[in-house]
Structures are given as C-alpha cells and as structure tokens.
Amino acid sequence: MKERSRTPQTKKIARERLAVLFSLAQAIFSTHPALSSRYVEIARRIAMRQRIRIDREFRRQFCRHCSSFLVPGRTSRVRVHGGNVVVTCLGCKKKRRYPVGRDADNGQ
C-alpha cells in the first residue's frame, strides 16, 4: 500500500478543506440535513488521514459518536448545568460537556 503524503503543504490543504466542508455543511443544513452530516464525515476522514486536529470551532459543531452536524434546537439540545454547557445530540442521545466560567478556557 502506498504511503500517504503528510508534508506541511498537504496538511495546510487539508485544513482548508475542513473549513470549506464545515461551511458547506452549515449552508446546506436547512435544506439537506443528511448531506451536511455527510460533509462532516468527509471532513473527519480527511483529518484522520492527515493526522491533524480539527479546530475547536469545528469540533463543537458535530457529534463525535454519530458524526451528525449539530445545530442547537434542531439536532442538538444545549443546557447549562453545574458550571458546564451540556450539548445533547438528538440523533444518538450522547452528551458532551464543556466547562463554563472562570479558568474554563485555559488558553487552549
């Protein structure tokens, strides 16, 4: 099997593709929710293949369990509970918790 290229240039191209795919997912969600989830799956596959981290702004827009594109009120429920924001995927019912408040960001 041929080794995949992981040069800085290909990683930069992969990051650009991730941004494009997530913007397409957001733009098309209102008409084709399934297609927006497919864009997320493709973006995740690109990131895994190139071994790059998905930026935080994009990471919080999809369910890590079922890869569905999360839109508050439509495909996810957002609650604040005990100093955390709890995002529940309405497709698979998995929950993600993000800390809120002082020192929650930790500069990451």
The pLDDT value recorded for residue 105 is 61
- Does the pLDDT of residue 104 top 60, yes or no? no
Q: What's 8-99's CATH class?
A: mainly alpha
- Does the pLDDT of residue 102 top 80, yes or no? no
pTM for the full predicted model:
0.84
Averaged pLDDT, 58-81:
95
Strands laid side by side in the 95-99 sheet: 76-81, 84-89, 95-99
Helix (H) or strand (E) holding 41: helix 33-50
